Structure 1
Amino acid sequence: MLPEEIHDIAAALGREVVAARTLAGGFSHETCLLTLAEGPPVVARLGGPDPAVEAAVMATARRYAPVPHVLLVLPATGGGRPAMVLEHVPGTLLSHVLAEDGAGLGALGSEVGRVVAGIGAATFDRPGFFSGQNLTVRPERPWSKQLPEMAETCMAATPPSRLAPATREGWVELCAAHAPALVSVDDHARLVHADINPKNLLVTLARDGWRVDAVLDWEFSYVGCPYGDAANMLRFGADYPPAFLDGFRTAFAEHQPDDLPVAEDWAYLGRVLDMFALSDLVTRPVGHPVADQAAEQIRQWVARGVPD
């Protein structure tokens, strides 16, 4: 974080910043914990596509899930990057808890599944992507029509060393084969976080059990089918304790909004929706660790001939 960025944020807050420490963050932004001369610390996120829209999404999502308060948004700082300043929420990253493989992870999975399902209770008038701080939703072609085309475009843009030509061709064919299944969810118009994973949830083991303290990083959110969020959480599930996965799956299905009965094949539909994200992820530059994980997932699915 640059000194001029700290200066601009301090001026906007009207409080002196006495220390800044980098936190774990996403690949599209830098996240820092700022200690203030007065009052509790705050979190600054610098960069990202459009923090003003993200802040508006977070304000809406707070009615359905634990989401940090946004304190201010700066369109640009002295360093040229936009900034969002959030309240600091104590808690432990879910990724750290799962790495320890301790007791009670079935209950933790249940709590995470309940919270993720709750995000889908937020409804909009149509599926699509947000435009502007008033959260207008741009109309989109049905996901079932978009998937084959996106897969082909992304495979052409993937670094040559990441996926073999035969795998790329197989992935495009696999996406085209399963895209028609999305017809059943093309008209879902629910809030989708679109980056639900253990690095974006803060949790605490309280006296009465596990609690999700905050759902972080809403920059990729859109309006569509909530099954995609479940698939996002389960994408690299082979790395997570089985008890957590079982608890998550059961609770996500049980806590779907009352006006959205869960489809019997919700897990499969979620995986098909996740083909969008996997296709996009592998276009990242060489050395991107999550992109390499996504490439391995694609190889496995192509080898088996199913998104499983």
Structure 2
Amino acid sequence: MDVLLTPRLRLRWFRPEDAEFILGLINEPAWIAGIRDSGVRDLDAARAWAQSRLIAPYWQVGHGFWLVERRADAEPLGLCGIFKRDSLPLPDLGYGLTTRHAGQGYAREAARACLVYARRVLGRDELLAITSPTNGPSMALLEDLGFVREGERVGDDGPTVDWRWRADPARPQDDTALATDWVRRFWACQGPDAEGVRALAALPALCTAEAELQGLDGTMLSVRGWVEVGGLVPGSWVGEEPAVTLASDGNEAEVTWGPWRHRLVRDGERRWRLSHLSSRS
């Protein structure tokens, strides 16, 4: 599934058939020295690593590391994306390109697009990043992207530099404004962007794992089922103003917009997520 396009690049979900490229990428000396040695040495191990590390998070959290390929010839260049680590409180931006494709601005182009995606699609105004203190090119890129160095510590893979990016300006933080922002982002994912890409890949990030969404025929679907049938393209009602009703405890909200009723709940970060979508009729 395509995630986003830039003038030169396509970022898409990794697939099992990308295992040979992954095996080569994560065994390059520059990758091992600057990122980590994953201990993956054959195709079967690469397939298993890709499934658990790359593919599974797409459905679990709605984002992750995506394959970066050149649009002109579909040449795979590396990976870039927004990854949620158990060891960090927020998702972080990560990237890594093959040595032969370094130095051509691909990492910068992909990373900048990921920051726009994080804000516009995922509703993230803040991301983290981690680097090795010896990875000068990566640290220079983070500074160019607007990340601020926060300190150095000893992490799971040795000495680690922590970085943080904050969007400017940040979106309003009152509950009604955030619920309105959520519903607009949800339906924006259903329609094509300027490049013709529909951001359906992000829906697991906007919904609870158990969310139910009503299709046009009245059938209730899981998030995965909704994505797999192609979602729904919004109508002219997107020009109207959503109506938000907050629960007294502030942990639930109902948003009506056009023909749809959205039930939202708070997640562990107190961000809104969809638990139920149904027709108002």
TM-score, reference length from structure 1: 0.23
| Structure ranking higher in helix proportion | 1
TM-score normalised according to structure 2 size: 0.25
Determine which structure has greater relative contact order: mean sequence separation of CA pairs < 8 Å that are 6+ residues apart, divided by chain length.
1
